[in-house]
Amino acid sequence: MKFHWLVLLASSLLVLSIIAGCGGGNGGGNANLSGSVTVLGFNDLGMHCMNQDFSELMILPPFNNMHAQVIDRGGEEPRIVTSGIAVSYAIPSNTTSVTKTNFWDYAQALFGFTPAPDIGLTGNGLAGNMTPVAGKIWEASGIPVTPLNDAMQEDTYPLMTITVRQNGILKAQTQAVAPVSWEINCDLCHDTPGISTAMDILQSHDNLHDTSLAGGPKPVACGSCHTQPPLAALIPGNPAVSTLSSAMHTSHAPRMADAGLPNPCYACHPGVRTQCLRDVHATAGMTCTDCHGSMTAVGNPARQPWTDEPRCGTCHPLTPISGFELEQPGTLYRNSRGHHGIYCAACHGSPHAITPTSTPQDNVQAIAVQGHAGTIDTCTVCHSSRPDDSFPHSLSGGGD
């Protein structure tokens, strides 16, 4: 473990996040870089899940979302850059997926079209360019990375390299985790001898709900009936049927209560090996239910999945401090910004991976830009010199 940590640290230090240089061409508000540049990369989630096999049943496809913010730190005040540059991404240890999953063999049956090999459902591959989107951020969505690296070893926390160039000249580079796992342990319970785990699930559904999934055309996409908000644009689902989150949590809650697992959530969510909850909260002894409530509560039909989520302010009531704000009102942590438009996750890490985490890869970026793990709290990561005024921990207090 010590050797593994030293290798990661050494690689991160080779990838300098602040690289000096001048931009070319004054093409407008963000086109001309005035000096050294910082790029911070982060995922929208602490873990993306996917099926290992798609021949009979699909819960989730390979679909990873990466973000980046680029800060020009060479002027009197730093500014977030959203044009006049090229932001690219690649996963050096994971350059192909088509040989590691049968997703592309069944994409037509599941989604009505087949992306090209190693291209995901939104047209992005395992390497390519990020696109500027609203909110002062660069994005690459639907990246079809799997938890097997090119040596065919399990790697649920591969490091993505994010590179900023202007007129072909390297300006900044960083590394951030693109988390993915297929440790969805349905086989812990769905283990009828002589049939596959997927067929066991389909037969159980037929027996409980008078459907005919096991004998019908396959593969079956759970989201074709039970709405999954992240996939709603691709598979709308049936609004008359419970969401997949509600159906899964409600039906499994009484079963998991008697399963005897130290963390029942890891029966389905990754997992005993993956340990997707790996952040400062886990280090402090917290578990999934401390933030999300019981499995029954998560399955409440009145709850909107991916919208009704825990908020930092529930446990960290710091808003009375002048100029201090946690999430923006009505905005989830993963989408919130503060301090002059910087995303919360850019400095603190993704949900379930709030730094410092127990996984060395999550800490590589912070160590590279400021010399220590944890929250990126060193002013000169973004400023050319340490400001004299107080730190505004809010979007409204710090301007936009």
pLDDT tens digits, one per residue of 166-203? 999 999 999 999 999 999 989 989 999 999 999 999 99
pLDDT in tens, 248-257: 999 999 888 6
Alpha-carbon Rg for the chain in angstroms: 22
Cα torsion 104, 108, 112, 115 to 10°: value is 30
Distance CA(81)–CA(37), nearest Å, equals: 9
**pLDDT reported for residue 319:** 53
Please answer whether residues 389 and 77 qualify as being in contact, where contact means their C-beta atoms are separated by less than 8 angstroms. Answer: no
Instruction: Give the closest residue to 197 by CA, choosing from 102, 48, 56, 62.
Output: 56
Q: What pLDDT is stored for residue 326 in this prediction?
A: 82
8-state DSSP, 30: T
Task: Specify the DSSP class assigned to residue 357.
Answer: P
- Return the pLDDT at 18: 33
The pLDDT, as a whole number, for residue 259 is: 67
The pLDDT assigned to 24 comes to: 31
Residue 305, pLDDT score: 93
Structure confidence at residue 399 (pLDDT): 47
CA distance 20 to 29: 20
Q: Residue 323's pLDDT is what?
A: 61
DSSP state for residue 327 in the 8-state scheme: S
pTM across the whole model: 0.88
CA 312, 313, 319, 321 torsion: positive or negative?
A: negative
Cis peptide before 219 (omega within 30 of 0): yes
- How many of the other CB atoms lie within 10 Å of CB of 218? 18
The dihedral formed by the CA atoms of 245, 292, 331 and 48, expressed in degrees to the nearest 10: -60
pLDDT of residue 338: 85
* The residue type at 203: Q
What does the pLDDT read at residue 102? 98
Write out residues in the chain with pLDDT < 70, as ranges.
1-32, 34, 257-260, 318-323, 394-400
